[in-house]
Amino acid sequence: MKIPLFKVNMPKNISVDEILHSGFIGQGQYVDDFEIKFANHFNLEIDKVVSVNSCTSAIQLALELENISQGDDIVTTPYTCLATNTDIIRRGANIVWYDVDKITGLSRLENIEKVITRNTKVIIITHISGAITEDLEKILAFCHQKGIKVIEDAAQSLGAKLNNEYININSDYIAFSFQAIKHLTTIDGGILYCGDYEKANEGKLLRWFGFDRVISSDFRCAQDVKRLGMKIHMTDINAFIGIESLKTVDDIINAHIKNAKLYEQLLPIVDGITISHKIKSGSSFWVYPILVEKNRDGLKKYLEENGVYSSLVQNRLDGMTCFKSAFKLLPNLSYFMRRILHIPCGWWVSEEEVSYIVGIVREYIDKGCFS
Ligand SMILES: Cc1ncc(COP(=O)(O)O)c(C=O)c1O
């Protein structure tokens, strides 16, 4: 038996042939349609949705829209994908790490408050493994009162809800990912949701050199560019795949949550394992995070020997050479990193396989491998 941690979910029996040979494969009608359908599906305002070619680009665009440059402090999490934080350094701004919650790995207001500086312009939080921090509302209120913007990295959390809502009405920026192994894939792709209409309009210009693709047919030649843009737009091919994937995205998200519910019933009988994200958190459970009290790497190996793939998913970024100037002691993160392990809970995992995985974990502990 082989149970992967990730799997690509491509819509079946679709053909991109017509688009490929239509003479127009860049950003066109399918991209517009995908933005509308995505917005409708997840209760977003369509005029605030800016599609791009990845979540990495969405985060870069948000930093650009906030004019982040040398001397600015960006308060951010070290337990996230490299993509969340690289552009901060590239822009010459400073990274200020905050410590994470020691059980969930998520962002907490009390940790953010401790490290805020006079030069803080933006705070970044990541909805790790599919869960939105329960402090989101409080973090947004705290930051807005200080004139600080919040970027939510939602790359792993499509379909997650907090207080039964997909997004908070006070959110400034939310960056989504449609990379290969996400709940919804367009092969690669992303959306930047902007809380402010003007920022969204500016984002639409900046994603394609700074040109307005709507107001004139000969946009390359007829327009002056006021602000230098990027080239990070989505293409019609990716958007078409996204439109097709949206038809089944609820089934996919629900399958992840159903497996997580089963883990939550079965795992508490296993001593030495702590459930990191509970169902009540509203997580969409991209992966299922557990904390392993002792010898986590031994359990990871034992799972693999029995055909089950597990992973830390991301290592702490504060240990990397490229971020060394931002060094800080982060005791909660150290506690979390010694224990965290993600096990498979995706749409491809059956109920029997969840029981099998729990059985393997239990067997490992019963054998005394913990000590
Ligand atoms: C937390 C987080 N942020 C950003 C990204 C980057 O997303 P993309 O590959 O769409 O650029 C990822 C990718 O997995 C991620 O996990």
pLDDT at 239 over 90: yes
Q: What's the confidence (pLDDT) of residue 296? A: 95
pLDDT band at 215 (very low <50, low <70, confident <90, very high): confident
The continuous run of DSSP H or E covering 343 comes out as: strand 340-343
The highest-level CATH class for domain 250-366 is alpha beta
Q: What's the confidence (pLDDT) of residue 38? A: 98
Q: Ligand 1 center to residue 168 CA distance, Å?
A: 21
Q: Where in the chain is the domain with CATH 3.90.1150.10?
A: 250-366
The atom of ligand 1 lying closest to the CA of 179 is: 10
Q: What's the confidence (pLDDT) of residue 24? A: 87
Q: What are 226-237's pLDDT values in tens digits? A: 999 999 999 999
Q: Which amino acid residue places its CA nearest to atom 9 of ligand 1? A: 179
Instruction: Work out the mean pLDDT of the chain and round it to a whole number.
Output: 95
Q: What are 11-37's pLDDT values in tens digits? A: 999 999 999 999 889 999 999 999 999
DSSP states along 39-102: HHHTT--GGGEEEES-HHHHHHHHHHHTT--TT-EEEE-SSS-HHHHHHHHHTT-EEEE-PPPT
Contact 263, 275 (CB under 8 A): yes
pLDDT at 369 over 70: no
pLDDT band at 371 (very low <50, low <70, confident <90, very high): low
Q: Ligand 1 center to residue 153 CA distance, Å?
A: 8
Q: Where in the chain is the domain with CATH 3.40.640.10?
A: 17-246
**Paired strand residues for 120:** 73
Q: Is the CB of 112 under 6 A from ligand 1?
A: no
Reference 121, options 143, 91, 106, 99; nearest CA is 143
Reference 140, options 165, 177, 105, 104; nearest CA is 165
3-class DSSP state of 38: helix
Q: Is the CB of 192 under 6 A from ligand 1?
A: no
- Is the model's pTM score more than 0.95? yes
Q: What are 98-150's pLDDT values in tens digits? A: 999 999 999 999 999 999 999 999 999 999 999 999 999 999 999 999 999 99
Q: What's the confidence (pLDDT) of residue 268? A: 78
Q: Is the CB of 190 under 6 A from ligand 1?
A: yes
Q: Which CATH number fits domain 17-246: 3.40.50.720, 3.40.50.970, 3.40.640.10, 3.40.50.300?
A: 3.40.640.10
Q: Which residue has the tokens 């030495």?
A: 272
Q: Which amino acid residue places its CA nearest to atom 7 of ligand 1? A: 55
Q: Ligand 1 center to residue 57 CA distance, Å?
A: 10
Q: What's the confidence (pLDDT) of residue 370? A: 60
